[in-house]
Amino acid sequence: MFGSGLSHTFLQRQRVRFRRYCRAGWAVFRSLSLEVQIGTIASYIADRQLRKSQRPEIRWVDKVAATLGDDAADDEEQQPVSLLELLLSAVCPQQRAVVFPLLFLFSFSARAQQPIADTCRQLPAVEIHAATTLRVANNRLDSSAVSATAAVALDDLLELLPAADVRTRGVDGMQADISLRGGNYNQAMLLLNSINMTDPHTGHYTLDLPVGPDAVEQIGLLSDAPLAHFGLSAFCGILDIRTRIADTAASPLTIGVSAGSYGTAAATLTARQHRRAWHLLQSLSYHRSDGYSHNTDYRRGNLFLQARRDDTGYGQWDLQAGLQMKDYGANAFYSLAYPDQYESVRTGFASALYSRAYGWGALQLALYDRVHTDRFELFRQGRTDPPAWYSGHNYHLSHVAGAHAKATLLLPVGQLSLGAELRDEGIVSSQLGSPLRDSIRIAYERSEAWFKYGKRRCNLNTFAQYDYLDDRWRLSAGGSVNFNSMFHTGWGADLRAARQLSQHLSVNASVGRYLRFPTFTDLYYSSAVQVGNSDLRPEEALCFEAGAAWQKGLWCAEAVALHRRGGSIIDWTRQPDETLWHCANLTDVNVTGVELSLQMKPCGAVRFVRMDYACYHAQKQSGDLVSKYALDYLRHNISLSMAHAVGPLTVGYRAALQQRNGSYTDAQGNLVEYTPVALLDAHVTYPIGHFQLGLTLNNLLNRRYYDFGGIEQPGFHFRLTASYALPH
C-alpha cells in the first residue's frame, strides 16, 4: 500500500555511515528514512577539502577560521564546529529551505580531531526521518520478523502477509501458487533485488527461486506505484524480495541440518564476506522427503550467489545468479483423475544492476536473463504403465531476457522519473506454441525427446512518473505505454496521494489502471482435461485503494480498503457436468477487500508480534461456471503470529483461521464446498554457545484441509534442526 510514505527507494531500511566529506549537493536527500551513523569531522580536513574544491563556500570556512584566532589556525587545532553548519554549506541555496528542518533534528557540536593524537570518540547512532516516513507496512516483513520465524521455504514467509494467499501442492516449497488480494496466481509480479522474476510460462513457477529464508532480509508487497518498477502487468501487486547481504551483524558462516516427519531431511550453508567495498553472499541448500502421502516425495537443491559493491563515488553494483533443481511427485496436482503425476524442474538466472546518484538525480541500469525447464509426466515413469493413448511426457523450456533503464531527475519542486524496459519472452515445447519449422532435439534429456512447438514475444514498457514530497504531503502521478508483439498497444496510469496528519497518523489513497498478458499456458496448453485458447485478450483492471497508518511507542497499526474492477479476467472454467477445463476471458470479476494489521516492535523478551485480518469479496458474471482459480480466493484470513523469549528459549506461534470461497469436485465427482479451517504451528529454539537447536511443530491440531480442491495437505508433522554460526 502506498501509505504513509515515500517511494520504495526511501522505504528501504538501510544503514549508512559517513566516511568522508564529499560535498555532494544531494547527500542529505539520500539520507531520508535511512539509519545514519555520524562521526566527528576534523575541521582541518573540512578546511583542506574546501580549499581544494575552489567552491565559493570557502569564504565561509575562512570566516570560521578567523573567529578561532591565528594561533589555533597555525596549530590546526580548532574549536568545536557545528556539524549543522558544515552540512548546510554542502547544500545549494535553493535546497536549504527544505533541508533545514531535517538537519535541525540532529544538529550538535563535534569536537575537533587532532591529526595525530587519538582524540576521536564514538557517537551514538542517530536515526534521521522525514516527516512523511510514518510506515507500518502490514504487507511487509522486515529482518526481525523474518529471523523470528522457522520458515523452510519462501512460501512459509509469505503465509505471514495478510494480502497473500499461498496455495501449496506438497510441502516445503515444492510448488506454491501466490495470489494477492483476491486475485489468482498469474496476476502477481515478483521482484528479486529489483529484478523481475515473473515466469511467462505459467504462474505456477513464479516462486521457483533458489533463495531460502536464511538469505532473506525483507519480503512483502511494494507500497509505491507499480509503474515505477515496470509493473504495468502487476495486476494485483508486486511481491518484493530483498536478500540479506550487507548485514554486518550476521554471522559470516552458518551451517544447518534438519530432519523430521516423512523422511524429511535438509542441509543448508550460508556465507557472507565483506571485502573492501564488496559484500558477498553465498547460499547453498538441499532438501528431500519421502512424502506425506502417495507420490509426494521430493528432492530440491538451491544455489544462490550475490555480490554488491557499495557506492564509493562511482555508483553501486548488484550482481546475482542462482540455480535450482526440483524433482517431485505431483500427486493429482492438476487433475484428481491422475494420482501418479511427476515433475522435474530446473531454474537458472543471472542479473546485473547498476545505480548511481548524481547532483541532478539518479540513474539505474539493469540486465537480466532467466531460463526455466520443466518435464511433466502424467504417468510417473517407472511406477505406472501409461495407457495406449498417452503420447509421452510434456517438455518445456522458457527463456526471458531483459534490460531496463530508469532516470530520476530532481526538479525545483519534486522529482521526475523516466524509464523503459525491453523484455523478450520465449518458449519451446512439446506442446505449447505454434508448430516449429524444424523440431529441436532436447539435448539435456536422456531419452529421445523433441521440441515441436514454440512462441516468442517482445515487450517494450515505458513509463513516466512525477513525485512531490514535502513535510506533510506525498503526491505521485504516472503513466505507462506498452508495446507487445502479440497483443495490441496497452496503457496504464497511476495517481497516489498521502498526507501526514500528525506525528502518529497518516492517510493515503490511490487509483490505477493495469494490464495482465496471458501466459503461454493460458494460450496454448491442452491435455486430457484442459484446453487452451490462443485468442485470449489481456486482462484489465481499475484499482482503488485507501488506507491509514498509526504508530505510537511500540505499537503500530494499518488499515486498507480496496476495490478492483477487473475486465476480461482469464481463468480455467467448466460447466458443473463437464470434466474438461476451458481457458477463457470471463466477463468481469470485481473484488472488494479490507486489510487490518496490528504490530508490536521488538522489546525485551518479545521478538515479534503481529495480528492480521483480511477479507475479500468477489462479484463475477460467468453464469454457473465452475472456476479453477479466479473464483476460489481466500475470503477470510485472520492470523496471530508471535515470538518471545522464555529464559534461554525462544518460542514462536502462529494461529490462523481461514475461509476459502468456492467449491471443488472431489475424486468421486461430487461438488464440495470449501470449509473453514483453523491451523496452529509452533517452534522452539535453544542456543548453546554458537550452536542452536530447534523444534518446529506444524498443524498441531492435525486438521484435514485443502489449499486446492482434492489435494489434501499434511496433518501433524515436525522438524528437528541444528545450526552453527561462526562468530565474527
In a domain, 371, yes or no: yes
Q: How far apart are the first and last CA of the chain?
A: 38
Cα Rg of the chain, angstroms: 27
Q: DSSP characters for 626-685?
A: EESSTT--EEEEEEEEEEEEETTEEEEEEEEEEEE-SEEE-TTS-EEE---EEEEEEEEE
In a domain, 130, yes or no: no
Say what the pLDDT of residue 88 is: 43
Pairing of strands 530-531, 570-574: unpaired
Residue at which a domain ends, from 118, 151, 172: 118
Q: Within this chain, do residues 86 and 195 fall inside the same structural domain, yes or no?
A: no
Say what the pLDDT of residue 84 is: 43
* Residue 293, all three cell numbers: 502421502
CATH code: domain of residue 385: 2.40.170.20
Cα distance between residue 186 and residue 723, in whole Å:
36
3-state DSSP assignment of residue 138: coil
Q: Within this chain, do residues 551 and 595 fall inside the same structural domain, yes or no?
A: yes
CA 519 to chain centre: 21
Which residues does the chain have with pLDDT short of 50?
1-14, 21, 23, 25-26, 29, 33, 53-136
Element (H, E) at 72: helix 70-75
Q: Which residues contact 480 (CB under 8 A, 6 or more apart)?
A: 227, 232, 461, 462, 463, 464, 491, 492, 493, 494
Strand partners, 553: none
3-state DSSP assignment of residue 253: strand
- Residues 641, 596: contact at Cβ < 8 Å? no
Say what the pLDDT of residue 306 is: 97
Q: What angle do CA 19, 217, 369 make, to 5 degrees?
A: 95
Q: Within this chain, do residues 194 and 237 fall inside the same structural domain, yes or no?
A: yes
Q: Within this chain, do residues 282 and 329 fall inside the same structural domain, yes or no?
A: yes
Domain containing 656: what range? 140-725
Q: Within this chain, do residues 418 and 554 fall inside the same structural domain, yes or no?
A: yes
Cα–Cα distances (Å) from 458 to 424, 453, 455, in that order, read 5, 18, 10
Q: Amino acid identity of 721?
A: T
CA 221 to chain centre: 6
Number of domains making up the chain: 2
3-state DSSP assignment of residue 264: strand
Q: Within this chain, do residues 223 and 93 fall inside the same structural domain, yes or no?
A: no
3-state DSSP assignment of residue 599: strand
Q: Amino acid identity of 654?
A: R
Say what the pLDDT of residue 672 is: 87
Q: Grid cell 494489521 — which residue? A: 597
Residue at which a domain ends, from 118, 153, 180: 118
Cα distance between residue 99 and residue 94, in whole Å:
10
Cα distance between residue 267 and residue 296, in whole Å:
20
In a domain, 89, yes or no: yes
Q: Within this chain, do residues 684 and 618 fall inside the same structural domain, yes or no?
A: yes
* Residue 348, all three cell numbers: 537458472
Cα distance between residue 173 and residue 300, in whole Å:
9
In a domain, 131, yes or no: no
Q: Within this chain, do residues 433 and 566 fall inside the same structural domain, yes or no?
A: yes
Q: Grid cell 587519538 — which residue? A: 118
Q: Within this chain, do residues 452 and 368 fall inside the same structural domain, yes or no?
A: yes
Residue 716 DSSP symbol: S
Say what the pLDDT of residue 128 is: 39
Q: Within this chain, do residues 100 and 145 fall inside the same structural domain, yes or no?
A: no
pLDDT digits (tens, 9 = 90+) for 390-422: 988 999 999 999 999 999 999 999 999 999 999
- Torsion region of 356: left, alpha or beta (phi above 0 gives left; psi -120 to 50 gives alpha): beta
pLDDT digits (tens, 9 = 90+) for 317-349: 999 999 999 999 998 888 888 889 999 999 999
Say what the pLDDT of residue 530 is: 82
Say what the pLDDT of residue 577 is: 79
Q: Amino acid identity of 214?
A: D
Say what the pLDDT of residue 413 is: 93
Please choose, from the candidates 228, 161, 230, the residue with its C-alpha nearest in 3D space to the C-alpha of residue 197: 230
Q: Grid cell 508448430 — which residue? A: 435
Q: Which residues contact 326 (CB under 8 A, 6 or more apart)?
A: 174, 208, 298, 299, 300, 343, 344, 345, 346
- Torsion region of 568: left, alpha or beta (phi above 0 gives left; psi -120 to 50 gives alpha): left
Please choose, from the candidates 63, 221, 68, the residue with its C-alpha nearest in 3D space to the C-alpha of residue 136: 221
